Structure 1
Amino acid sequence: MGPVTARPRPWVRRSVIAAVVGVCLVVAAAAYIVLRPPGPRPAFQLPVACGETWKLGTYPGHDDYDVDLFPEQGEAWGRPVLAAAAGTVTKAGINGTVGGRNPENPDGPRGKGGGYWVKIDHGGRWSTLYLHMLEPPLVREGQHVELGDQIGKVGSTGNSGAPHLHHEQLRGFEKVETSFGGVPSGITTDDREYSVSRKSGNCASGGQNDQRPG
């Protein structure tokens, strides 16, 4: 009589089947999240105080669609950084290293990456990034924010040469031209150094749209 081959017990087979089905469901859900088309662009506003005029610029090597914001009047250090639209904070902390640049030591050692930063998910696969902030963010991961809520302060942490706010808008995993109050920023390629001026409509009362200064 030959050797007897043990058959898997029924509960083992059921466990294996359940595990395979679970993995398939997770993969299918992840694929749906990645492949589903983005929703309409949220009504983003400039992420700075209502009524202020800021210069939006870029330079060679900055990367397409990346925007650096500098105030046209007054000191940049410590200016409020505001949520460009309502959403949920998905990142709040340090990107790279902070470095040693601050108002007391503006020429201190540079850090790496974005320094203190925040990323906000606005739904519909849209998100925004805010980099180089002065101090740890004023929000935490998982926190809901409304348009105009303060999330940090303008600084020069990370790989930054001067105090400013680096801002990006993403559709899915793709960076796109930033738009404020329904008006495209005009910052597209990084083939040369150039800038435009925009006035903020990021007002708590839901005021005017961001616009070109008159």
Structure 2
Amino acid sequence: MTTGHPTAARSHRRARSRKIRVLIALVAAAAVLGIALVVVPMLRPAGPRPLFQMPVTCGETWQLSTYPGHDDYDVDFFPIEGETWGRPVLASYAGTVTVAGINGSLGGRTPDNPEGPRGRGGGYWVKIDHGGKWETQYLHMLEAPMVKVGQQVSQGDQIGRLGSTGNSGAPHLHYEQRRGWEKVETHFDGEPSGITTDEREQILRRVSNNCPAVS
């Protein structure tokens, strides 16, 4: 015994099949659009290099250095005079904080226990997006960053304090400038820093021009 008209049943199945195809097409279109929104901005060329300043206090002289195995273009900052622990870490340029937290593990090196166990990675760190595919990174800070993800910062704003968290042998600031996915030579006040390859030890000195704007 049949319970329905065969033609009506076939029509119902065709309608349901059309709905499924339409749904699949909509999902596929949404996926393509989502990928395009992520990939297309990445393919655009970077904007002009911001006028980055050293991430330390105006007028101070600091040692900029690297060593074999450190990685090309990475810069370690050490003060020439005074206490190292707790020195202000400043934003090199205005931007938006995209990371403010822990990279790897903290370890146990503190001002009271400078020879404590090392951690892993960058310890307390911050990343700032400066627009135009430019980014800066600040690693090994003493304590949790003074900024939060999504926060807008101006050049010279304090974002943390210098320390030795993560895989760090002594208190210092590990600093990077990036253009898109590419790490590049750091520039300060419009001039290249000179820290390039990690094939040999490099030690330079520079005076910070990360000074408050004159009104």
TM bucket normalised to smaller: over 0.9
- Name the SS of the counterpart of 1:16 in structure 2: helix
Q: Which residue of 2 aligns with 1:129?
A: 137
Q: Does 1:191 align with 2:190?
A: no
Higher helix share goes to which structure? 2
* Of 62, 70, 75, the match for 1:62: 70
- Name the SS of the counterpart of 2:97 in structure 1: strand
**In the aligned structure 2, how far is the partner of 1:197 from the partner of 1:174?**
25
Unaligned 5+ segments in structure 2 are: 1-5
Question: CA, structure 1 residues 38+206, in 2 after alignment: closer, same or farther (shift >3 Å)?
Answer: farther
Percent of aligned pairs sharing the same letter: 63
Q: Which one has a bigger Cα radius of gyration?
A: 2
Q: Which residue of 1 aligns with 2:21?
A: 13
Q: Which amino acid aligns with 1:22?
A: A
Instruction: Kindly tell me the number of residue pairs found equivalent between the two proteins.
Output: 207
* Of 101, 110, 114, the match for 1:102: 110
Q: Which residue of 2 aligns with 1:179?
A: 187
Query: What TM-score comes out, normalization by structure 1 length?
Result: 0.92
1:150, CA displacement in angstroms?
Answer: 0.3
Q: Which amino acid aligns with 2:83?
A: E
Question: CA, structure 1 residues 34+206, in 2 after alignment: closer, same or farther (shift >3 Å)?
Answer: farther
Listed as ranges, the matches of 1:79-158 within 5 Å are: 79-158=87-166
Query: What TM-score comes out, normalization by structure 2 length?
Result: 0.92
* Of 201, 204, 210, the match for 2:209: 201
* Of 49, 54, 58, the match for 1:46: 54
Unaligned 5+ segments in structure 1 are: 208-214
Q: Which residue of 2 aligns with 1:35?
A: 43
1:13, CA displacement in angstroms?
Answer: 3.5
